[in-house]
Every structure is written in C-alpha cells, then in structure tokens.
Structure 1
C-alpha cells in the first residue's frame, strides 16, 4: 500500500503480527534523499539495528550471515558456469560428429570417412548435417533445463522462506555437479556412454533448479542480510561476480585446455568447483534466516493452506497449475493496493524482458559480428571479455559510489544537522530513516537511466558499420548492467521479509521461461532477416528497451505490502511469536 503521511496503523513496538519489524516508513512526498538509509548500523551510535541483526545478536562472527560469506562461493560457481559454456558446445559437436561419421561409414562402406578424434581438430565435422544435429541436440538440452528449472524454482523459493536458504543453495549446485559427472563419462567413454545421456544431466540440472535457482537463492540470501537502501549495491556485487565469471571463465578454460592439451580437464575443474561450493554451502555458509523468521513464515503458510482448503479448487489442481507461483505478483487482501499490484507487474515484466534480451542475444552477437565485421574467435572473445569486465567495474565500483554519494552521504549529513539543531532529535531521525519500504526514487532513476543506455546501445549496434564503433556501443551498453540487480532489489522491497524467496522464486519461473523463449525468438528473427536486413534484431531490441523505459515511468516509489492490523488477533499467532523467540534464545545461548 502506498504510504500517505503517518496515519497508518502499526503494531505495538513497531512490529507486525508475525514479529517482523514495521518501523516508520518514508512517505512519497518525503524528499528523495533526506530519509534514505545508509544500511550500516555502525555509522552512528543511535542507528537502530535491522531485525535480522537483532536475531543474530550474541552469535559468533563465523555464524553471523553476510553477503561476504556468499560472494566468494557465488564467484567460483559463476566462473565454472561461464568456463564450460564453449567447451561443452564443442564437446557436443565432437560427440555428435563421431556418431554421425560412424553411422555413415556403416551405411556407405565404400565411401571414405575420416575418423573423428576426441579433443582434436576435426575439419570433417564442419558439414551442415553435423551442425544441424548438434544445434538440435543443444536446443533439447536448453529446453529440458529451462522448462524444468522454471517449474521447480518457485517451489524452491517458497520452501526457502520457511526452512532457510543455505541448503537450497546447495541443492541448486547438486544439479550442476550431476550434469558434470554425466558429461565427463560421455567424454571419457564415448563408445560406451552415448552422448544422449547428456540429456539426463540436463534433466537433473533442471530438477535442481539449475543456475536460475542458484541466482534466485543468492539474491534471496542477500535480501535477508541487507537493508533496502543497500540491497541494490549487494545485488550489484552478485551480478559483478556473474559477469566476472562469464568474462574470465572462457579465458581460463581456453588457457587450461591449451596447457593440458585436453578439453576434458576443463570439465574436471568445473566438477571440483561445484563440489567445493556444495561443501561450502553445507558446512561453512551461515544461514541467513533465523529460526524465528522461519517459524513465522511456516505459520503464515499454514494460515494460507487453511484459507485455500475452503476454496472449491482442489489441492491437486492448484499444484498442477504451472503459473500459480505468479500470484505473488498480484497480492490481494489487507495491506495491498492497486498501486502495489501495478508496481509488481511492471517491475516483473521489465525484469523478464531485460533478462530474456540479455540471454537471447549472445549467439546473435557472435554470428552478426562474424558476418558483418568478419570477426574471428579472438575479436569475439575480446569483445565479450572487455565488455563483461567493464560491467564488473560498473557493478562493484560505480554503483556503490553513486549509492554512497546520493544516499549514504546525504543521510549522514542530515543526521548530523539534526543532531546539531536538537540533540534529542538524533534518535528520532535514526529510528525514522532506518527503513525505506518499496523502491525509492533513486532506485527508479538509476533503472530508467540504465534502460536509456541499453536503448542507445542497441540503436548504435543497428547503425554501426565499423567494428570499432560497434565495440564502443557495446561498452556503452555495459553501463546499463545495473538495471537487472536494481530491478531484483526493487521487487524484493515490495513484500515482507518472509515472502522474498517466494517472490524471487516466481521471478525465476519467468526467467526460466525467458531462457527458453527469447533465444528462439531472436535467433529465428536473425535467421529470417540476415539475408536482407541483418540489423533488424537490434532495431527490435532497441524498441523493446525503449518500451521498458516507458513502462518504468509508471512505477511509483515507496509502495509496499503493509499489515494494517495493529494487534495480534489470535492466540495461535501469539504462540508462534513466543515459540520463535524461544528458538532464537536457545540458538544464541547454545552458541
């Protein structure tokens, strides 16, 4: 609900009926930066600690969650993910060619066929038939992983709200681990293990949520341990780790395969990377959701199940509804509003279109630059590597700097002025500006600016007739990489802490579908227009990004789900809070 003044009811002690903090919030007519939070409770003695910080008071440092615990593991995971993309495509091509040549030599024993040698250059595989079979098989792999991960991610997100994040992060890594095992077996024993077994690895990866689930759980973990004001920066760090992996992964894979003379070594290293990350998540990573929050989320879930039991729709029918998780984007009932629903739908639509455009144009860029500018592997790797490196700089350096200058610095200055004017007012200011519910105006300004840069980038791609100009527009578009993490952050600010996993799980569903649909759409468009107007795909992308920018202007700041009930209304809810408090006390005392 959109905040209008300070007349809304609040729970006693500034907490809602499930024990989640409900401190005074910022009004839409409040100045943009005067009430922003620096997100650092150590910057002033009077700062009010976040609820998650209160839950972990007295816990040893190695058991206290932070994005810095998760970021190194996510960087290793992203590095393995980026490092095997090209080697896996080449391996599939070799395995498909090996079977095709063997079949042709059996059908036509009189025709000369050169045997395919594993992990070597095989020019006999550069024929349309093999290329078509390899492309078709790769499409099946993408469809299986994408569809299954889209179906499973919302369920993982909802469960993680009730039972914690770390084990579901580990569960997502298990899928990649199984996929690497199958790939290694198919590459090591190509005559015994048919390459179609790789599809089993894709199925296992999809059933565990794949990279889509890992990304959603990572952002959920980050949302648990950051304030809304600093959440965009934290998500930017995660995106920086992702782009760093995409930039460095292929380069490291090429170097390793060159040194060892065997591309299989890349998959073994990826396997051990997944194994290390899995063990780290299980045994080292601190849980970000305290027992208190988990119990509160389970209590809310039981209430929802009780309400749904009265519905004429059967439970089986609800479970079979593939799109049912998207209901979180259209909340109804107390504490919601039309503005809230519009915000969630618009932000989700922009996020899905942006993610789909990013994931769906990778192969088009490679084919287009080869066709128009005659770029080879070196030029393409330089383009991808340098633009990804610039994205990392933007996400880990420029975005935090902008946030500090226009949010943290201004807020600290406002606090000092208030303290000088009235020493008794400093506590009030700190208590009032420790939370900024909903996306604030700074979030929206940055998102809109990033979409403008993306629009200009793709318009430049369409008009560029020289490779250097195309490269320059690629760097410009890299500046718009802040949009995705800021969109995820803005979405998470619209719902309560116990629904963040459910919301990001629903976004993972949309991203999983985009992962299937958009590559086919943009690839098909390019194949249809490459003979006459190859720039058509970039014209469509430019118009699409421009449309996203227009939609972003309909998103309102400081809109969120708000519990309007000032008091607990049932004994069971009071019992839930009491039980949660006991669990927290036991956890702190036990450690």
Structure 2
C-alpha cells in the first residue's frame, strides 16, 4: 500500500471512522440542543421580565396624563363606587314604595302588610343577588385571562359601559311603573353585571396595579385600590343625601329613603308616589358613570405593553390548539369502524366526558390557583411543592376572608337593629366609620407598618418571588386584630362601643392586599390577570354563599339559643384558624428574619456549577479543541472555536452552533469519501 492510498479505502478503518464520526456528531448535537432548550426556557422568562422593566422605565418618561399609574386606575374605582352608593339608598326606598303599591293593588286594599312587603323585597333581593352573582362569576373567569391578551383598559371600559346600560334600564323602569316590576328590575341588574360587576372591576384594578409597580410596592398599592373603593362607598351616600336636600326649595318636597322608625307610616299610608326629586341621585349616578366611561376610553393609559399582550396571545393560541386536539381525539373515538360495535359504543360514551369538558372549561382558570408547573419559573421548579402548598393555603385564606368580610357588615347592621334599636342615621354612621377607618389604614398606616416598622426597623427582607416575613407579619397582625375585635364585639353593650371596636378592627383590612401581593409573587407577569380572574370566580361564589351561611347561623342564634352575639364568636374562631394556617406556612417555608430568597441562591448555585462544569470539560478536551481550531482555521479563519465568556449561555450556544455546523460538514465529507 502506497502512502498516497487513502486510509478511508480500508474497510476496517472506514467502520472505525464511521462509528467515531457518528458518536461525535451525536454528542455535539445533544449538547447543543440541550443548551438551546435551557436558553429557550430561560429566555422566555427573561424576555418577559425585560419587557415589563422596559415598559416601567419607559412609563417614567411619559407625561402624567399618558403614564399608567396607581392613581389613574384607582380614580375609576373611586368614582364608580361613589356613583352607585349615591343612588342605592334612594333606589332601595323606591323599590319599597313600588312593592307596597304592588301589594295594595294585588290585595285590593288601602294599606300593605309590612311582613308581606319584607318578604317581597327579600325575594327580589335574593333573586337579583343570585342572578348577578352567577353572571359575574361566569364573566370574571374569562375577563382575567382576556385582559392579559387584549389589555386591562378595554375590559375596565366594558364593565363601566355595562353598568351604565343596566342603571339606565333601572332608571326608566322605576320612572314608568307605579307598582313593582319584578322581572324588569332583575333584567336591569343582570345587564349591569354583564361586564363583571364591582368585584371584577377590583380584580382588574389589582391586575393593572401589578403591571405598573414593583414587587416591594405592591402591598401599599393594592391597598390603595381597596381604599378607593371604601372612600367612594363612604362619600356616595352623603352625596346622595345632599342631592335630595339641596333642590328642596326649587322642586317638590324630597322623599329620602325610608327611615326604620318611619316604616310603619309607609306601610299604612295610601298609594306611594315617587317624586321627581328622588330621581336626581339616579341621574347623578348615570351621568358620573358616563364620565368615568369617557375617561376610561380616552384618558386611561394601557398598563400592558404590546409585547406582553402579544406573548399572552401566543400562549393562548398554543393552549387552544391543545384543547382542539383533545376534542378532535374525542370525536375520532366515535367514528371508528362499525365492525366492533361494542367498542364503538364504549368510545361514544366518552363523548359525555367531552361534553362535560366543554361545560367545565369555564372552570379551567381555577387550575391556575393550584400553581401548575407551566406557570412556574423554570428556575423555581425544584421547590414547586412548597410553593404550590403555600399558594393553596394563601388562596384559601384570602377567599374565605373575603367571603365572611362581605357578610360581616350585614350581620353587624342586623345585630345593631336587634340589640341597640338602630335607625337609618345610626346605620349611616356605622357605614361611614367602617369605610373611612379602613381607607385611613390603607392609605396612611399601611406604608408606616410595612416599610417603617417591618422592613426598616425589624430588618425583614422583601422577596420578589416568594412569601416573606413582611407578608407573614402583616397578615398575622391583621388577623390578630380581627380576632380581638370579634371577641370585643361579643361583649359590646352599646352602639358607641361597637363603633369604636369596628374602627380599631379596620387594621385587619391590611390582610387583603398583603395576601394578594404574596400570592402573585409566585406567578409570572403574563399570568397576573389570569390569576385575578380565577380567584374572582371563587370570591364571587363565596360572596353568594357566605351571607346565606352567616345569616342562617345568626337566625339560629336568635331563635334557638337567644344569643345573637354568637355570630361574632364564630367569626373570631375563623380568624384564629387563619392565624394557625399562617404559622404552619411559616414553619413549612422555614421563614425567619435571616431567611434569604431561595431563587437568588439557587440561581447563583446553578450558574456557578455550570461555569465549573464547563471549565472542567474544556480543560479536559484542550487537545481536541487545539486540533479542531487548527483544522477549522485552515478552512475558514473566522469560524475558529473559542471558549465563550464564562456565565454567558448565549455565547456558549453560538459557539456550539459553529462547532456543530463544522463537525456536521466534516462528518458528511468523511462519509462521502468513505462511500
């Protein structure tokens, strides 16, 4: 054999080189694909965070009228709640009058029975509450996810628009009827809730705030959304009363909503005529909501950037394609060959599950509340079990706390009427104290407690991606004060004592925004709207059930045990259970003042290990790299293989791409020569 004879012509050498080439090609390709997979997974998260940070930095350069901010969205909540609360007392008085007229016309009598009137109004209230709750629950589950895709501004405008339409229907209904139009009132309330109602508006407000503020500012900022609601609810009735009294000398004698002490006169007098003055608060409500709608459409800036919305649309298309594939597979199961009728019938029965899947698809957003793996940052999946349990516990506490909070006000009013013979003036004082004290706590005391006390004085760290000691401390403080407050309410013996205790108990209002802020730390920014939409489903459901549960318990405490204050003992027990769950969660997460965020330590550990591993591998393969550089440099000096900058995964991927391309060409050349 001469020296010019190619070595590849020898059969054994050919097989040997083919094995080596295949092995080398496979190894480099696997390594390259592996690094690319890691990069793609991390880049999705990094790009998302980068977009949000870029958007927030860009927002700082915008004029204040075009800059999305907490105050811009809270203005919508404040004006919307003030508009509805300004008209609601007068509207309630109108409904009482029309109900009385309805019963007098039905019974052919000059008076109406108070018990029958109470039953009729209670049935109307129950029907509207259940129908509005169901519609709101259905809508809120979709609005959260869609707001991630199309933006918050659109759906805030839709909510306000549906409220305008529904309130307009109610206005003309009450204006044109002399007796109670039962179904027309329900229709008006249903239309007003088609956009999602006030609960969905609060959820969108929280999503909007989460888009524009950093993690360490969320507790205070989310508290501002609730504070704006409380301020609107406390100012609205005063504005409504002012609208009824000011036109007194210009129009006919105004008729405000009925006082509890004047109910007997209303029931026994003749046919009730609604004066034109009583419609002024209703006109004010519609006009103010129209101004809010114009503000939302033309002034309110969008909080989500176009890149973030595009990413959410992309993720939504991927999710919908998976659902279509599942449904197609279900349908194909029913189109099998008729030769096996038994198997076909069995598979066709599965269409029941397919139909059930379509029905239950509405509840699919609730799965997000269990912190699924696809909603977790890839760097945090090593501790997904702990985070998932933490999210579930916090969601349970938040939803149940919201549920019984909606019932506390009604029960306290009933208790005051029963125990202290409250009038409508006393009820107004109670509502003003309850709402204003909570607004003061959320606006003034919240930053002092959060930043000054826990963060600066006690040196508790604020984490961006997990439950921390600040969240724990504020939640424990809030529920401890609520527990003590309910115990004191159990022993309250006067209206003044009840008012004072309720004002002190307003510190418990810190728990709501704190829990919301703690939960959304575990989710990527693209899932914030979906989370608030999902949790609003549960909150709407509990807002329907909790009044029934607590009012039923309150009735039993009066009729069976003759101790109406027992309801406060039940509420104190629930607050104590919340405290126990928080302590369990603290021990589960090993939280204390010295705890550091696991994500930071884990990321540094992974980065260092990759760096060390790569350095070791490159040092062990130095001879291979030298020969590779020599070969590549002869063919193309620009494609010389060089070590990437340590810690740069993108540079590493590019270098693997270059080497993979070169090796693939070399292997193909060797195989061609071998053949």
TM-score between both structures, scaled by the size of structure 1: 0.78
Find the counterpart in structure 2 of residue 338 from structure 1: 385
Find the counterpart in structure 2 of residue 329 from structure 1: 369
Larger radius of gyration: 2
Q: Deviations over 1:241-264 (max 9, x none)?
A: 111122222222222223342222
Q: Is the 8 A contact 1:340 1:559 kept in 2?
A: no
Q: Secondary structure at the match of 1:523?
A: helix
The correspondence for 1:368, drawn from 415, 428, 443, is 415
Find the counterpart in structure 1 of residue 281 from structure 2: 266
Task: Report the CA distance between 1:306 and its aligned residue.
Answer: 3.2
Work out whether 1:349 is the aligned partner of 2:396. yes
The correspondence for 2:175, drawn from 188, 213, 217, is 188
CA distance in 1, matches of 2:74, 2:400: 26
Q: Is the 8 A contact 1:14 1:22 kept in 2?
A: no
CA distance in 2, matches of 1:509, 1:338: 24
Work out whether 1:550 is the aligned partner of 2:580. yes
**1:113-124 equivalence runs, <5 A:** 113-114=110-111, 124=112
Q: Is the 8 A contact 1:494 1:559 kept in 2?
A: no
CA distance in 2, matches of 1:560, 1:155: 31
Find the counterpart in structure 1 of residue 359 from structure 2: 320
The correspondence for 1:534, drawn from 564, 574, 578, is 564
CA distance in 1, matches of 2:422, 2:478: 28
Find the counterpart in structure 2 of residue 103 from structure 1: 106
CA distance in 2, matches of 1:10, 1:57: 33
Q: Secondary structure at the match of 2:47?
A: coil
Structure 1 residues 53 and 22 mapped into 2: Cα distance closer, same or farther (>3 Å)?
closer
Find the counterpart in structure 2 of residue 472 from structure 1: 500
CA RMSD of aligned residues (A): 3.2
Task: Report the CA distance between 1:72 and its aligned residue.
Answer: 1.8
The correspondence for 1:50, drawn from 50, 53, 56, is 53
Point out which structure has higher relative CO (alpha carbons under 8 A, 6+ apart).
1
Q: Secondary structure at the match of 2:96?
A: helix
Task: Report the CA distance between 1:146 and its aligned residue.
Answer: 0.8
Q: Deviations over 1:406-433 (max 9, x none)?
A: 477579x99xxxxxxxxxxxxxxxxxx9
Task: Report the CA distance between 1:469 and its aligned residue.
Answer: 2.2
Find the counterpart in structure 1 of residue 23 from structure 2: none
Structure 1 residues 54 and 287 mapped into 2: Cα distance closer, same or farther (>3 Å)?
same
**1:377-392 equivalence runs, <5 A:** 377-392=424-439
CA distance in 2, matches of 1:17, 1:470: 50
The correspondence for 2:298, drawn from 283, 287, 308, is 283
CA distance in 2, matches of 1:545, 1:10: 44
**1:82-101 equivalence runs, <5 A:** 82-101=85-104
The correspondence for 1:515, drawn from 543, 556, 559, is 543
Task: Report the CA distance between 1:17 and its aligned residue.
Answer: 4.5
Find the counterpart in structure 2 of residue 581 from structure 1: none
Task: Report the CA distance between 1:186 and its aligned residue.
Answer: 1.5
Work out whether 1:241 is the aligned partner of 2:228. yes
Structure 1 residues 315 and 292 mapped into 2: Cα distance closer, same or farther (>3 Å)?
farther
Task: Report the CA distance between 1:92 and its aligned residue.
Answer: 1.9
Instruction: Identify the range of structure 1 (456-465 vs 496-505) with the bigger mean alpha-carbon deviation.
Output: 456-465
Q: Is the 8 A contact 2:98 2:179 kept in 1?
A: no
Structure 1 residues 559 and 196 mapped into 2: Cα distance closer, same or farther (>3 Å)?
farther
CA distance in 2, matches of 1:488, 1:82: 25
Find the counterpart in structure 1 of residue 239 from structure 2: 252
Find the counterpart in structure 2 of residue 142 from structure 1: 129
Structure 1 residues 129 and 360 mapped into 2: Cα distance closer, same or farther (>3 Å)?
same
CA distance in 2, matches of 1:559, 1:456: 35
Q: Is the 8 A contact 2:167 2:192 kept in 1?
A: no
Q: Secondary structure at the match of 2:466?
A: coil
Q: Is the 8 A contact 2:455 2:462 kept in 1?
A: no
Unaligned runs of 5+ in 1: 1-8, 24-48, 106-111, 115-123, 415-432, 571-591
Q: Secondary structure at the match of 1:465?
A: coil
Q: Deviations over 1:375-408 (max 9, x none)?
A: 2222222122123211111100010222331477
Task: Report the CA distance between 1:68 and its aligned residue.
Answer: 1.9
Structure 1 residues 559 and 256 mapped into 2: Cα distance closer, same or farther (>3 Å)?
farther
Q: Is the 8 A contact 1:144 1:206 kept in 2?
A: no
Q: Deviations over 1:213-261 (max 9, x none)?
A: 1111011000000111101111111111111122222222222223342
**1:380-419 equivalence runs, <5 A:** 380-406=427-453
